[in-house]
Amino acid sequence: MNRLSGKTAVVTGGNSGIGLAAARAFVEEGARVAILGRRQQAVDAAVAQLGSAAFGVVGDVADLSTHDRLVAEVRERCGAIDIYMANAGMNQIEPSPAVSVASYDAQFDTNTRAVFFGVMKALPLMRDGASIILTGSIASAKVLENHAVYAASKAAIGAFARAWALEFAARRIRVNVLSPGPTDTPILAKLGVAEADRPAFDRGMAAAIPLGRLARSDELARAALFLASDESSFVTGVNLRVDGGIALS
């Protein structure tokens, strides 16, 4: 349908999982896409999947100089930004008494500080009428065991979106949050779910989710595409939960 024809999108954490799926959806709808990831090999592999409409920048979002390089690269190659998806994030599951200062800082640096300053650095390059999508989490609405710091870092994302929806309204820039529920992505392994334990894990999660299964990355990507496109032209300041209803239970 070419809903994003002629537009430029930036996706942080775009080399895997939800970010890669969103980048793919944007490319398929005609956008030029810049993805940001921490590892050169993963970024190169993602760009190879996405094709000639995509290019990659390597860096850690927690390092604010990364955002300067990202914006400079997009300015040189594309001139402006129409869609900015702040998707990169991290989670360390641990009870609050066990949280170290380093763990706390790492989560807030990546999930909160990087989002704020990433958007601020990209804002001058954004066209009027652009769409900003912030990847949140249902943990900000539903209490999950041993997620206190992660939940707090993601709750701030909602505050940013509500404030920015008003601050940027004069330029018709829309700002929304996309909050995934449990999703079948490589991050599950990073969180310690071994492949041998996946069937039991999936059954347990399915029992907790009203729709009875984990989400697929492409389902989150379609929601991101809605928020990125003119189909959501009168939507701003909302938190779109794509969670199978788990936040209700």
Going across the sheet that includes 8-12, the strands are 54-58, 32-37, 8-12, 81-86, 126-135, 174-180, 239-242
92: pLDDT strictly greater than 90: yes
What region does 17 belong to: left with phi over 0, alpha with psi -120 to 50, or beta? left
The SS3 assignment for 195 reads helix
Domain range summary for the chain, segments of one domain joined by +: 8-248
pLDDT category, 89, cuts 50, 70, 90? very high
Dump pLDDT digits (tens) for 179-237: 999 888 776 555 556 677 677 777 877 888 999 989 999 999 999 999 999 999 999 99
Q: Which residues of 157-182 are buried (b: 16+ CB within 10 A; e: fewer)?
A: bbebbbebbeebeeeebbbbbbbbbb
Region 25-33: mean pLDDT is: 98
CA distances from 63 to 20, 106, 122, 143, 144 (A): 21, 11, 15, 29, 28
The pLDDT of residue 137 is 94
45: pLDDT strictly greater than 70: yes
Question: Among the listed ranges 21-25, 30-34, 165-169, 179-183, which one has the minimum average pLDDT value?
Answer: 179-183
The pLDDT of residue 218 is 96
The pLDDT of residue 141 is 86
The pLDDT of residue 48 is 98
The pLDDT of residue 197 is 67
The SS3 assignment for 6 reads coil
The CATH topology of domain 8-248 is Rossmann fold (3.40.50)
CB-count exposure of residue 195 (10 Å: 0-12, 13-18, 19+)? exposed
The candidate with the shortest Cα–Cα distance to 33, out of 63, 17, 60, 13, is: 13
Query: Is 84 known to be catalytic?
Result: no
Q: Which of 26, 84, 150, 160 is catalytic?
A: 150
Cα 157 to Cα 224: distance, rounded to the nearest angstrom: 16
- The single-letter code of the amino acid at 225 is L
Dump pLDDT digits (tens) for 110-160: 999 999 999 999 999 999 999 999 999 998 888 889 999 999 999 999 999
